Amino acid sequence: MSSILQSTTTPTAGTRWRVANPRTWFAHTRVHIQEHPIQAASSATIFAGFIFMAFPGIDLAVSRWAAAGDADFPLSREHALRLLRDFNRVIPLLILPAVATMLAAQIAAPRAWLPRPHKMLFFLTFYALGPGLAIQLLKRLVGRARPSEIVEFGGTLPFTPAWQVSGACSRSCSFASGESATAIALITLAPLLPVRWRRTAILALIPVVLAFSLNRIAFGAHFLSDVVLAWLLMLWIMLWLWSVFAAHGARIDTALTRGRRPIES
């Protein structure tokens, strides 16, 4: 009985002050994210989706800024930005075969200097389920027209908010952004690195992810919500999938290497 009463009792004045004090919000949020990353990612995804659906004008305002007020997106003709887009598209074609080759080598003859098999399998599985399956399903199901295709920017198709199912687009649709998904997917390289390098690698990747993703808004290829929700959805899938692979890492390594478990890298 005492535990039931304690779980529903009114907080003390000191507790109420700590919760209400804005100075503690950031610290509490950081602790919550560290202790419950999957829940935090799912909450952020749901909250961001609600904001973009409740205030669809955010997408139009940002795209209008990128279009410089005209029915055109002048930055889409910038040579440097086009090279940046092309580089983002090439990266998965280079990294995925490289990781697959390392995984095959590690399975054939475990090596201490290569990442453990479950880490590389996580990387490949995430790319297949996240940027591959989830994003492509969303594009087909939602059918959102791209900014450059809608009436507001000189096109012929109607604007629709994020998550609203539409028949405006049938292929290569706007929601969600595939390039933004593959950009933030680079973070899944972190578990393949030694622990001492992971934080630095993630921090170094942040401006890369921003450049690749925001470039798509400047091109008129995606709305802000396409980019932000692609990031959050990929983080959600990434964290959930990593929790599964990390929990069963030793078992996966043993199965793939037939008991010849490699040394932790």
pLDDT given at position 103: 96
Confidence band (pLDDT; 50, 70, 90) for 5? Answer: very low
pLDDT given at position 3: 39
The answer to whether the beta carbons of residues 169 and 146 sit under 8 Å apart is yes
Q: How confident is the prediction for the chain on average, in pLDDT?
A: 88
Beta-carbon neighbour count of residue 214 at 10 Å? 17
More confident residue, 59 or 20: 59
pLDDT given at position 51: 97
More confident residue, 16 or 109: 109
Beta pairing partners, 157: 150
Confidence band (pLDDT; 50, 70, 90) for 83? Answer: very high
Confidence band (pLDDT; 50, 70, 90) for 70? Answer: low
Rounded Cα distance between 130 and 237, Å, is: 7
Q: Which of 179, 142, 180, 148 is nearest to 161 (CA)?
A: 142
Does residue 8 carry a pLDDT above 70?
Answer: no
Reported as a single tens digit per residue, the pLDDT across 153-209 is 989 999 999 999 998 898 889 999 999 999 999 999 999 999 999 999 999 999 999
Beta-carbon neighbour count of residue 100 at 10 Å? 14
Q: Which of 137, 136, 127, 138 is nearest to 237 (CA)?
A: 127
Beta pairing partners, 150: 157
More confident residue, 56 or 33: 56
Q: Which of 23-32, 178-187, 210-219, 244-253 has the lowest mean pLDDT?
A: 23-32
Rounded Cα distance between 25 and 243, Å, is: 26
3-class SS string, the chain:
CHHHHHHHCCCCHHHHHHHHCHHHHHHHHHHHHHHCHHHHHHHHHHHHHHHHHHCCHHHHHHHHHHCCCCCCCHHHHCHHHHHHHHHHHHHHHHHHHHHHHHHHHHHHCCCCCCCCHHHHHHHHHHHHHHHHHHHHHHHHHHCCCCHHHEHHHCCCECCCCCCCCCCCCCCCCCCCCHHHHHHHHHHHHHHHCCHHHHHHHHHHHHHHHHHHHHHHHHCCCCCHHHHHHHHHHHHHHHHHHHHHHHHCHHHHHHHHHCCCCCCCC
Reported as a single tens digit per residue, the pLDDT across 12-45 is 444 444 555 666 766 666 776 777 889 999 999 9
Sign of CA dihedral 211, 217, 222, 227: positive
pLDDT given at position 182: 96
Q: Which of 92-96, 166-170, 209-213, 223-227 has the lowest mean pLDDT?
A: 166-170
Rounded to the nearest 5 degrees, what angle is found at the Cα of 260, between the Cα atoms of 255 and 262? 100
pLDDT given at position 117: 95
